[in-house]
Amino acid sequence: MIKIGLIGYNEGNGHPYSFSAIINGYDREFMSQCPYRVIYKYLSSRPSDELGLEEMQVTHIWCPDIQVAKDIARCSKIDHVVENYEDMLGVVDAVIIARDDVGSHYEIARFFLDNEKYVMVDKPLTIDEDQLRYYIPFLERGKLLSASGLRYKSEMRTSFYGKLEKDDVLFANAFSVLDWCKYAIHVLEGVTPIMGADIVDVKSLHSGDNLCAKIEYKNDKYLMIQINKKVPIGINATFYLKNGSTCHVDFDDNFECFKYMILEFKRMIETRHWVINPQETISIIRAIIKGREYVK
């Protein structure tokens, strides 16, 4: 049994609720009262046999606000709430840092990585080059996983169920929501199974509330990412092909994507080998860093 310590919580990010429920299952009564109605809605729409993972259990949780930790523990059947995340060190095999306030990641992740624990970090891993350089050896050793779960959307994993030949893609247009540093990574990661991650340049075209960037790849393909800081248009991508046709994906199934990502984390622990090529993560994070240079 792989024992997981869960690290939460920051305002607006319900991942501690959803990740722990996917692993442990959940209490319907308590989860129905959680602050994120959308999470209860998609969990309750799934058959019970899709919830709970074999040989993996969230056994401990820490949040800065212990009352929030207790609420998540009730919702997702977590036995132990700790007052300090350091208290997990001797009792868990791995930790999931389920926070997307990127400034919190480094201190917590470093504590566990330096103590040889497996770590999964919510996106984005970092927006700092020095921190990225620290993380690289752990990515390469299969001790660290950080990704957007949207790369595991079924259309992406299967190249639109075999209908799309990657060499036929000319370029892609994608939309994400509200914030470059938090959410551009969703589409950068999301399209990687098709576009690759050999990024050679990022051209920022940001203006006011409209954030736009051209991501150029080694194979002469490119991705346009558009975000409006005030209007959440949704997260989607359209691929334009040489024959004039298109393939479109809406990244709208959080459960599928999160579960697949957690299963990949489990596989990384079991095999002691990375499950995402470290160069992909490095390239994507550096694109986020470069793209934020002109964000105001």
Shared-domain flag, residues 122 and 181 = no
Helix axes 105-114, 129-140, angle to 10 degrees: 30
Whether the upstream peptide bond of residue 124 has omega within 30° of 0, thus cis, is yes
Digitized pLDDT (tens) for each residue of the chain, 296 residues in all: 999 999 999 998 999 999 999 999 999 999 999 999 999 999 999 999 999 999 999 999 999 999 999 999 999 999 999 999 999 999 999 999 999 999 999 999 999 999 999 999 999 999 999 999 999 999 999 999 999 999 999 999 999 999 999 999 999 999 999 999 999 999 999 999 999 999 999 999 888 899 999 999 998 999 999 999 998 889 999 999 999 999 999 999 999 999 999 999 999 999 999 999 999 999 999 999 999 887 75
Shared-domain flag, residues 87 and 120 = yes
Residue 78 is predicted with a pLDDT of 99
Residue 60: CB partners within 8 Å, gap ≥ 6? 3, 4, 5, 6, 78, 79, 80, 81, 82, 87, 88, 91, 92
Q: Phi, psi (5° rounding) for residue 50?
A: -90, -5
Residue 296 is predicted with a pLDDT of 58
Shared-domain flag, residues 132 and 93 = yes
Shared-domain flag, residues 80 and 138 = yes
Give the single-character DSSP code of 64: S
Cβ atoms of 94 and 268 closer than 8 Å = no
Domain extent, residue 90, equals 2-149+256-286
Residue 190's domain is classified under what CATH number?
3.30.360.10
Residue 58's domain is classified under what CATH number?
3.40.50.720
233: number of Cβ within 10 Å: 12
The number of distinct structural domains making up the chain is 2
Residue 144 is predicted with a pLDDT of 99
Shared-domain flag, residues 140 and 36 = yes
Please state the pTM of the whole predicted model: 0.96
Cβ atoms of 285 and 106 closer than 8 Å = no
Residue 55 is predicted with a pLDDT of 97
Shared-domain flag, residues 157 and 174 = yes
In a domain, 10, yes or no: yes
H or E element, residue 37? helix 37-44
Shared-domain flag, residues 164 and 125 = no
Shared-domain flag, residues 29 and 130 = yes
